[in-house]
Amino acid sequence: MSRYSDPYFSPNPKRFYRSRQDKVLAGVCGGLAERFGWDPLLVRIIAALLLCFVAGPLIFVAYLVVWMITPYAPIGYGNFSAEEDAFWRGVSDRPRATFGTIKYTFMDLEERLKNIERTVTSDEWRLRQEFRDLEKGN
């Protein structure tokens, strides 16, 4: 089965998986760190502090649930170039924000295209083109 035929496949590497490389117990903290681009040690320290000082049993149960329902990262997952990684880190997780960014990018491109069309179809453009043609002819 190809990964492209998987209905849950996404080219976006920002999906949350348990880490295969950076794990101490189950790879949950390592997976969070990989997902958000954080330092894994910092995530583990925060998890330990939450476990010790803030609703320990609740955090422990939450960790176990995440452990049980989150799959390991597929083999070969996350092998991205620095440019690809930077691109995906810049992509918003919120569809509205992504749509808004794309919408305004296209609006800007459309305005620039209109300006180019106005310039190229103007009488001044034609006149300058004729002068250039005359200069080439001499």
The confidence score (pLDDT) of residue 92 equals 65
What would the pLDDT profile of 94-128 be if each residue is shown by its tens digit?
677 777 788 888 999 999 999 988 888 888 888 88
pLDDT of residue 12: 58
Please tell me the distance from the alpha carbon of residue 119 to that of residue 87, in angstroms, as a whole number.
Answer: 34
Read off the pTM: 0.46
Tell which wins on pLDDT, 86 or 62. Answer: 62
Tell me how far apart the alpha carbons of residues 77 and 67 are, in angstroms, rounded to a whole number. 18
> What pLDDT, on the 0 to 100 scale, is given for residue 106?
92
pLDDT of residue 1: 44
CB environment 83-109: b (16+ within 10 A), e (fewer): eeeeeeeeeeeeeeeeeeeeeeeeeee
| Residue 18 bridge partners (DSSP) | 72
pLDDT score for 101: 80
* Tens-place pLDDT, residues 27-71: 788 887 777 778 888 888 888 888 888 777 787 888 788 788 877
